[in-house]
Amino acid sequence: MILNMIYSTFHRHTGFVFSVIATVSFVLSGCTSEEETDNETEPSETQDQNVTPPDDQNVDDEIDNESEDDEPDIPAAYGVSAGHPEAVDAGMEVLENGGNAADAAIAAAYAISVVEPFASGIGGGGVGLIQEQGQEPQAYDYREVVPEEGIPASDIGVPGFVAGMMELHKGHGMADWQDLMDPSIDLAESAEVSETLAQQLQSAQDRLPTEQLEHFYPGGVPLEEGANLEQPELADTLREIRDRGGEAFYEEDIGEALAAEIEGLNMNSLSDYNVGQYDPVTGEFAGYEVIGAPQPLPGTSVIQMLQISEERDILEEERNSTAFIHDIAMSWRLAQQFIEADFGDPDFVDDLDDNINDPERNAVWAEEISSDSLLPMDAEQSYEDADPNTTHITVVDDDGTVVSMTNTLTDFWGAGEYTEGFFLNNQMARFSIGEGEENEPEPGRRSVTWSSPLIVADEEGPVMGIGSPGGERIPIMLTQVVADWAGGTDLDESVEAQRFHLDENELIMEEAPDPDQRDALLDIGYSEIREPPTQLYFGSIQALAIDRETDELLGATDQRREGDWRMETTD
Taking a C-beta distance cutoff of 8 angstroms, is the pair 295, 173 a contact?
Answer: no
If you ran DSSP here, which 8-state letter would residue 350 be given? P
- The Cα–Cα gap between 279 and 302 comes to 16
- The Cα–Cα gap between 344 and 341 comes to 9
Neighbours of 111 (CB within 10 A): 31
Helix, coil or strand: residue 90: helix
- The Cα–Cα gap between 539 and 537 comes to 6
Distances (CA, A) of 34 to 30, 53, 119: 10, 30, 54
Q: Residue 30: what are its φ and ψ, rounded to 5°?
A: -70, -15
Taking a C-beta distance cutoff of 8 angstroms, is the pair 164, 125 a contact?
Answer: yes
Q: What does the chain come to in residues?
A: 571
Taking a C-beta distance cutoff of 8 angstroms, is the pair 124, 425 a contact?
Answer: yes
Nearest alpha-carbon partner for 73 in 555, 456, 458: 458
Helix, coil or strand: residue 173: coil
Residues sharing a CB contact under 8 Å with residue 84, sequence separation 6 or more, in sequence order? 111, 112, 115, 116, 194, 391, 562, 563, 564
User: Catalytic one among 237, 390, 408, 449?
Assistant: 390
* Strands 462-467 and 288-292, bridge-based pairing: unpaired
Q: Residue 455: what are its φ and ψ, rounded to 5°?
A: -125, 135
- The Cα–Cα gap between 13 and 337 comes to 17
- The Cα–Cα gap between 285 and 309 comes to 10
* Strands 391-396 and 402-408, bridge-based pairing: antiparallel
Taking a C-beta distance cutoff of 8 angstroms, is the pair 475, 301 a contact?
Answer: yes
The answer to whether residue 394 is catalytic is no
Determine if residue 287 is left, alpha or beta; phi over 0 gives left, psi from -120 to 50 gives alpha, anything else beta: left
Residues with catalytic annotation? Answer: 390
